[in-house]
Structure 1
Amino acid sequence: MLKSFRILSFLEGVSYLLILFVTMPLKYIWDNGYPNKVIGMAHGFLFLAYIVMAILMKPERKWDNKTLTIVLLCSIIPFGTFWMDKKYLRDS
């Protein structure tokens, strides 16, 4: 389950960065909203899967509530999932 969560967190982080730095400028500067819809839908699915999987990882990784909260907050901070992977998932 750890490997799956690491992959999911990477994909969630990449999709978030794509939205922020690629599809949002395309939408608001060049008036092309289609990429934002496609990447946005994928990101929404990945975000929800990340939240569910983080909650499921709590007992496996023996996280306390503070750690789980940090892991969950990392999903809304740009580059947060990459930091979280290094800090909380690579020690095993």
Structure 2
Amino acid sequence: MSLSLKSSLGRFRMIGILEGISYLVLLGIAMPLKYWANLPMAVKLVGWAHGVLFVAYMLSLVSVTFDRRWSFGRVLVAFVASLVPFGTFWLDARLKKEDQQSAV
């Protein structure tokens, strides 16, 4: 199944991927540039973008929670996934697998 932005789950997955990418860029590129190359502007710009995407992730998590009637445990896992590097990619893989199994 491809990502469909028409459903709350599709939007959540897309925002999760973007949020995960921004987190990795912040940790792996912007932070080293700040501390090793004395370029603090990198963290300012990437950090701002990541913050916006994090808020969008949380709002889309609320939306998908109500649309799909997710349990508290599932919402907690989705929240924690946003805090762990590569966590949103792991969650996306699980959601994609579930989506494919339910389509069969």
TM-score by length of 2: 0.83
Counterpart in 1 of 2:93? 86
Counterpart in 1 of 2:74? 67
In structure 2, runs of 5+ residues without a counterpart are 1-7, 100-104
Q: Which runs of 4+ in 1 moved over 4 A?
A: none
Cα distance between partner residues in 2 of 1:66 and 1:57: 14
| 1:46 aligns to 2:53 (yes or no) | yes
Q: CA deviation at 1:35?
A: 1.4
Aligned residues: 91
Counterpart in 2 of 1:14? 21
Among 30, 35, 47, the residue aligned to 1:28: 35
% identical aligned pairs: 38
Cα distance between partner residues in 1 of 2:52 and 2:32: 22
Report the secondary structure of 1:34's partner residue.
helix
TM-score by length of 1: 0.93
Cα distance between partner residues in 2 of 1:55 and 1:72: 10
Q: CA deviation at 1:36?
A: 1.1
Cα distance between partner residues in 1 of 2:62 and 2:78: 9
Q: Residues 41-63 of structure 1, C-alpha deviation per residue, up to 9 Å, x if partnerless?
A: 00000001101111111132231
